[in-house]
Amino acid sequence: MFAARNKGRLAMTAAAVGAALALAGCASGDPLAPETDPDAPSEAIVIGSQAYYSNEIIAELYAQALEEAGFTVDRNYQIGQRDAYIPALEAGEVDLFPEYTGNLLQFWNPDTTATQSDEVYAELVTVVPEGLQALDQSPATDQDSYNVTAEFAEANGLESIADLAGVDGLVLGGAPELEERPYGPSGLAEVYGVTVDFEATGDTTVESLLEGIVNIANVYSADPRIGQNGLVTLADPEGLFLASNVVPIASADLPAEAVDIVNAVSAALTPEGLVALNVQSTVDELGYAEIATQWLTENGFIS
Amino acid sequence: MTWVVNNLELILQLTLQHIRLSLLPIILGFVIALPLGWVAYRYRLTRGLVLTLVGLLYTIPSLALFVVLPPLLGIGFLSEANVLIALTIYAVAIMARSVADALASVDPDIRQAATAMGYSSWGRFWTVDVPLAGPVLLAGLRVVAVSTVSLLTVGIVVGVQSLGYLFTNGYQRGILASVLTGVVMTVLVALLFDRVLAMIGGRLMPWTRASAQNTAAPTSEAAA
Amino acid sequence: MNLFAEAIAWLLDPLNWQGSGSIAERVGEHLAYTAIAVLVAIIIAVPLGWWIGHTGQGKEIVVGITGAARALPSFGLIFLFVMLVGVGARVPAAVVVLMLLAIPPLLAGAYAGFEVIDRRTIDAARAMGMTEWQILWKVEVPLGLPLLFGGLRSAVLQVVATAVLIAYIGLGGLGYDIVQGIALRRYDQMLGSALLIIALALLLDAIFALLERYSVPRGVRAGRDTDVRTTPTGRRATADNPATT
């Protein structure tokens, strides 16, 4: 650290900083658009995944099933935000990506009114961009849901989100962006007339709920901790949340045989099955490759 | 720890990736800092400007730098380039100061003797100044290496895989062993770089091995 | 320029300064975490550094701690501590991590401040009959202030930078808007926050740089003769024009 010792140097510093900012005009384009690698081989099927361990497992299910059938697979996991991988998908850098119908539909059509599983999927198929296709959706779901502890539910007679309307002192916990999501505090107020305070709890949402830091938590429905901790998932009669089934998004020219295999894997994945896979990851602490191999063997995809 | 045993391959892969990604900023930082530090040392007028600017760059928190660089340079936010450029900037920031200090620490009498013997400026710089400044340069380079290895872990938040993956993934899944392993491996990689650099320094500058002081860590200024 | 204009617009938007989670609140949280962590670190590190500098024992501790601390990934430590103490104690966990980061520069600054003092000055003080405590408080501490403040400056900046990352364990501070902005794809929010963080860091750096400079005891040739940063100007010192740059 160097002390700016006199006004002259401070002035020079200010000028330099100003010049740097002025140069900002040189850069254009959307910084959230991804880097695409033009050298990726085109024979191999490139499978991507989100920075979400459960999604990584599903991607590995597809990967190993395809490898068993003789395809070459390149793994590009933990890509992260949709901003990064959707354009990569569209540009053909990634060929297959496990996604979730409701969240993805909202990404492409923020004003959608579909909420039920079938209508969400139907609409998703129509908004998929040119060059991509949505394969069959799986029965397995993994969507946002509001949960409370069993004690809290009993004490306040809660079965659905609507029952929250009369309760005071509600604090909602979830990822920081939940604060601004349409199904966050503003959605709760609009659709159900429920007012909540918000507390960002991120990856420790379930722990925060159990510790009493928050009393409502947004937990993904496939999170094994819901069952493990006896949490009560509040029903959503007004359709605040979109249904989110697992759906593989693929490039339009994915070989037909690959499509069939992927669809078969998706069909065999049940909601309970997905939760069980997640349990193996978080409780048994197994790696995604081992979990995938086990499941595929048990379900007859790998001999 | 069963988790460690079950995930040895992943740990190894991430460690190698971490080493690979750390190399470029360290080397590039050194290469860029050398002329910068020389200018700061040689021309007293520019010394203030260069070192102030460079010092200011170092005060910028890493996440903020990741956000600011893309619009300035036209690169992607979620890209390796973003992280590598940011790390190089930090490396230059640390190293430039070190180079200026190193060159200033060379005894002027020796420089005069070299000039008297007929060395050209260029020749004198490379055959007299740099070797004599070596120990301080090496100390700075070791600080840069350790700092880079540590900072690279933050790159995971923009999607750049390194040992930092063990932090976020372990936190998400509630696996303490993963986070702990990440911390331990990062420290080990940092120590590895430090030891290797010290060894290389010992080879290149055999005259410094005799004295124990060359391995002393820098004082508070350089420790900043 | 478009993105920077949007970022500035986000920063100036009055809506973002109202209600809970406002920019002012985030700045306040950030400064609070920094202040508490640095204060506790001062209490721990400065007396220790002074003691090591005064008695000359335990120099290796300083060297060891400063070196080792740089290798620790602060990002990982944040997660590690929260997982160790549970999410209910995440605020203390974050403060402890920040404090741990502030200790090495403060320790090094306190120690180095004493180390560069000319031994003859201490001898003279002893010869004049000062007790050890008097030597400590009247001679060593004042002379060591510049380097101590240098260490303090370094510590504060280190903590301010790391406090940006506590947003990843759901705490507030200026990193919160960046983390939220990433997920919501709002680059104006991300960039606005980043610029604010940078401005805050630069401001604190300037404040502590001034403190560092003005902490040199009046009338004393800065105890930084050995500091190679002060290149001699070539001017001769006169009574009213000390040769410091």
Cα–Cα distance, C98 to C38 (Å, whole number):
8
How does pLDDT run across A8-57, given as a tens digit for each residue?
A: 555 555 555 555 554 444 444 556 654 444 444 457 888 988 888 899 99
How does pLDDT run across C202-212, given as a tens digit for each residue?
A: 999 999 988 88
Of B136-150, C7-21, C56-70, C229-243, least confident by mean pLDDT is C229-243
Looking at residue B77, what is its pLDDT? 79
Residue A98 lies in a domain: yes
Of residues A3, A81, A211, nearest to C87 (C-beta): A211
Find residue A218's DSSP bridge partners.
A146
Looking at residue A204, what is its pLDDT? 86
- What is the nearest CA distance from B30 to chain A, expressed in angstroms? 18
Q: Mean per-residue pLDDT for A238-266? A: 90
Residue A199 lies in a domain: yes
Which segments of chain A does DSSP mark as H helices, in order? 7-22, 53-68, 82-91, 101-108, 117-127, 150-156, 185-187, 205-211, 224-228, 256-268, 271-282, 288-298
Looking at residue A135, what is its pLDDT? 92
Residue ranges of the domains in chain C?
A: 2-218
Strand A73-76 and strand A146-148: the pairing is unpaired
Q: Mean per-residue pLDDT for C119-136? A: 88
Cα–Cα distance, A71 to B96 (Å, whole number):
51
Residues of A with CB under 8 A from a CB of B: 1-2, 4-5, 8-9, 12-13, 16-17, 20, 23-24, 26-29, 31-35, 51-53, 78-81, 83-84, 203-204, 281-282, 285-287, 290
Looking at residue B210, what is its pLDDT? 63
User: What subunits make at least 3 CB pairs under 8 angstroms with C?
Assistant: A, B
Residue A261 lies in a domain: yes
If one counts every other C-beta atom within 10 angstroms of the C-beta of residue B153, the result is 26
Print the domain residue range for A291.
45-141+243-298
Q: Is A240 helix (H, G, I), strand (E, B) or coil?
A: coil
* Contact by Cβ (8 Å): A250, A92: no
Contact between C183 and A176 using a beta-carbon 8 Å cutoff: yes
- Structural domains counted in chain A: 2
Q: What is the dotted CATH code of the domain comprising C2-218? A: 1.10.3720.10
Hey, which residues 97-136 in chain B have their CB within 8 Å of chain A?
Answer: 97
Give the distance, in angstroms, between the CA of residue C106 and the centroid of all CA atoms in the same chain.
8
Of residues C83, C151, C190, nearest to B220 (C-beta): C151
* Contact by Cβ (8 Å): C173, C82: no
Beta strand residue intervals within C129-180, DSSP E: none
More confident residue, B9 or C21: B9
Cα–Cα distance, C153 to C212 (Å, whole number):
8
Residue A5 lies in a domain: no
How does pLDDT run across B146-196, given as a tens digit for each residue?
A: 999 999 999 988 878 899 999 988 998 889 999 999 999 999 999 999 999
Residue A15 lies in a domain: no
pLDDT at C59 over 90: no
Looking at residue A81, what is its pLDDT? 67
More confident residue, A51 or C163: C163
Contact between B59 and C205 using a beta-carbon 8 Å cutoff: yes
Q: Say which residues have a Cβ less than 8 Å from residue A212's Cβ, sequence separation at least 6.
A: none
Looking at residue C242, what is its pLDDT? 52
Looking at residue A28, what is its pLDDT? 45
Contact between A285 and B175 using a beta-carbon 8 Å cutoff: yes
Q: How far is CA C195 from CA C156, C174, C175, C200, in A?
A: 18, 10, 11, 9
Looking at residue C235, what is its pLDDT? 47
Is the domain of A159 the same as that of A130?
no
Mutate to test the interface with C, among A26, A108, A171, A207 (most CBs of C within 10 A): A207
Angle at B59 between CA B221 and CA B102, to 5 degrees: 35
Cα–Cα distance, A248 to A234 (Å, whole number):
28
A–B interface: beta-carbon pairs under 8 A: 97
Contact between A78 and B161 using a beta-carbon 8 Å cutoff: yes
Residues of chain B above pLDDT 70, percent? 92
Q: Residues for chain C: how many in total?
A: 245
Is the domain of A119 the same as that of A176?
no
Is the domain of A136 the same as that of A154?
no
Which of left, alpha, beta for A47 (phi over 0: left; psi -120 to 50: alpha)? Answer: beta
* Contact by Cβ (8 Å): B3, A285: yes
User: Where does the pLDDT of residue C104 fall: very low under 50, low under 70, confident under 90, or very high at 90 and above?
Assistant: very high
Looking at residue B25, what is its pLDDT? 96
pLDDT at C49 over 70: yes
Looking at residue C244, what is its pLDDT? 47
Of residues A16, A23, A285, nearest to B2 (C-beta): A285
Looking at residue A40, what is its pLDDT? 43
Nearest-CA residue of chain C relative to B60? C198
CATH of the domain at A93: 3.40.190.10
Nearest-CA residue of chain A relative to B52? A2
Mutate to test the interface with B, among C11, C60, C66, C79 (most CBs of B within 10 A): C79
Strand A216-218 and strand A232-233: the pairing is unpaired
Contact between B171 and A27 using a beta-carbon 8 Å cutoff: no
CATH of the domain at A194: 3.40.190.120
Collect all residues of chain B within an 8 Å Cβ-Cβ radius of residue A51.
159, 168
Q: Which of C151, C153, C78, C13 is nearest to A203 (CA)?
A: C78
Looking at residue C84, what is its pLDDT? 93
Contact between C167 and A176 using a beta-carbon 8 Å cutoff: yes
More confident residue, B223 or A119: A119
Largest CA distance in chain A: 76
Nearest-CA residue of chain B relative to A19? B72
Of residues C66, C83, C182, nearest to B223 (C-beta): C66
| Residue tagged 């930084």 (tokens) | C224
Interface check for A19 against chain C (CB to CB < 8 A): the answer is: no
Give the distance, in angstroms, between the CA of residue B69 and the centroid of all CA atoms in the same chain.
19
Angle at B59 between CA B55 and CA B64, to 5 degrees: 135
CB-based burial of residue A75 (10 Å sphere; 0-12 exposed, 13-18 middle, 19+ buried)?
middle
Q: Which of A247, A246, A222 is nearest to A233 (CA)?
A: A222
pTM of the model: 0.81
Q: Which of A192, A211, A233 is the last residue of a domain?
A: A233
Is the domain of A115 the same as that of A168?
no
How does pLDDT run across B88-98, given as a tens digit for each residue?
A: 999 999 999 88
pLDDT at A134 over 60: yes
Looking at residue A17, what is its pLDDT? 53
A–C interface: beta-carbon pairs under 8 A: 76
Is the domain of A214 the same as that of A266?
no
CB-based burial of residue C129 (10 Å sphere; 0-12 exposed, 13-18 middle, 19+ buried)?
exposed
* Contact by Cβ (8 Å): A132, A158: no
Is the domain of A136 the same as that of A54?
yes
Collect all residues of chain B within an 8 Å Cβ-Cβ radius of residue A282.
173-175
Is the domain of A208 the same as that of A254?
no
Q: How confident is the prediction for chain C on average, in pLDDT? A: 84
| DSSP annotation string for C50-113 | HHHHHH---HHHHHHHHHHHHHS-HHHHHHHHHHHH-GGGHHHHHHHHHHHHHHHHHHHHHHHH
Is the domain of A133 the same as that of A173?
no
The identity of residue C30, as a single letter, is H
Residue A153 lies in a domain: yes
Nearest-CA residue of chain A relative to B53? A13
Q: Mean per-residue pLDDT for B17-42? A: 92
For C64, the token pair is 């060891």
Nearest-CA residue of chain A relative to C208? A3
More confident residue, A84 or A244: A244
Is the domain of A70 the same as that of A125?
yes
Residue A6 lies in a domain: no
Sheet holding A73-76, edge to edge: A73-76, A45-48, A96-100, A246-251, A132-134
Q: Mean per-residue pLDDT for A177-199? A: 88
Interface check for A8 against chain C (CB to CB < 8 A): the answer is: no
Nearest-CA residue of chain B relative to C84? B176
Is the domain of A57 the same as that of A124?
yes
Q: Which of A233, A260, A288 is the last residue of a domain?
A: A233
B–C interface: beta-carbon pairs under 8 A: 155
Q: Mean per-residue pLDDT for B55-80? A: 87
Angle at C149 between CA C147 and CA C151, to 5 degrees: 70
Nearest-CA residue of chain C relative to B58? C157
Q: Is A171 helix (H, G, I), strand (E, B) or coil?
A: strand
Taken in order C203, C204, C207, C210, the sign of the CA dihedral is negative
Of A34-38, A108-112, A207-211, B36-40, least confident by mean pLDDT is A34-38
- What is the nearest CA distance from A19 to chain C, expressed in angstroms? 12
Contact between B190 and C70 using a beta-carbon 8 Å cutoff: yes
